[in-house]
Amino acid sequence: MSEQQHQKHRLYGRAAGKPLSKRQQALIDDVLPTLGIPATAAGQLQPASLFDGKRDVWLEIGFGGGEHLAGQATRHPDVGFIGAEPFVDGVAKLLTALDEQALSNVKVRRGDARDLVAQFADKSIDRGFILFPDPWPKTRHRKRRLVQSDFIVELARILKPGARLRFATDWADYANRALADVTRSGLFDWTAARANDWRVAPADHVTTRYQEKRLGDCAPVFLDFVRV
């Protein structure tokens, strides 16, 4: 689906904030093209082919400042990571982290993640993360939220059976609605067995600066699902 088609239900506002530093702009100009993801027809891109073709591939949708993505890439050097983020500021921060840590197992798409997901072949992603997406808290704006029924179906299409999906938010209504929509789909099992399974950050979570700001209306909620 094109950006023009998404415009009515755009997930984000301006895609650029304050001016980048010279170093950040150089990374955007010179490094981002080397980490980019080619455009393909819908359902044709095999994510593993972006790496060595043999490794698992994890996807983070809306990686913000990139702390979580870079942290996971450091912990799992044998995994290929793909990140999608519309904001140039966040992309620049991730590129800075990749450069400083000499990480070579990450590919980046600046833009609407829905366009990227549409490119992926069926059952081609081994794990997914959607962490603290824009909550669009006003009732009239909730149609702009990323995690809704149609996108849940798309995620189920690209995730392999048994693949894990983590959704985190600090807005209570978004957590409740996302949980209801995902479980209602019948495409995922919710892994929680007790309250602390969603109240306490998972052991493998990498805390982000956004999370620490506590800008939502509730403590962070972590919902882990498994593709059935």
**Residue 94 contacts residue 85 (beta carbons within 8 Å):** yes
Domains parsed from the chain with CATH numbers: 19-227 (3.40.50.150)
Whole-model pTM? 0.92
Q: Look at residue 53 in the predicted model and tell me its pLDDT.
A: 79
Q: Look at residue 12 in the predicted model and tell me its pLDDT.
A: 46
Q: Look at residue 180 in the predicted model and tell me its pLDDT.
A: 98
The residues carrying an active-site annotation are 134
pLDDT (tens place) for every residue of the chain, 228 residues total = 444 444 445 554 445 567 899 999 999 999 999 999 999 999 999 999 999 878 999 999 999 999 999 999 999 999 999 999 999 999 999 999 999 999 999 999 999 999 999 999 999 999 999 999 999 999 999 999 999 999 999 999 999 999 999 999 999 999 999 999 999 999 999 999 999 999 999 999 999 989 999 999 999 999 999 999
Q: Which residues contact 188 (CB under 8 A, 6 or more apart)?
A: 152, 156, 165, 182, 225, 226, 227, 228
Burial of 14 (0-12, 13-18, 19+ CB in 10 A): exposed
Distances in Å between the Cα of 52 and the Cα atoms of 48, 79, 104, 176 are 7, 10, 12, 39
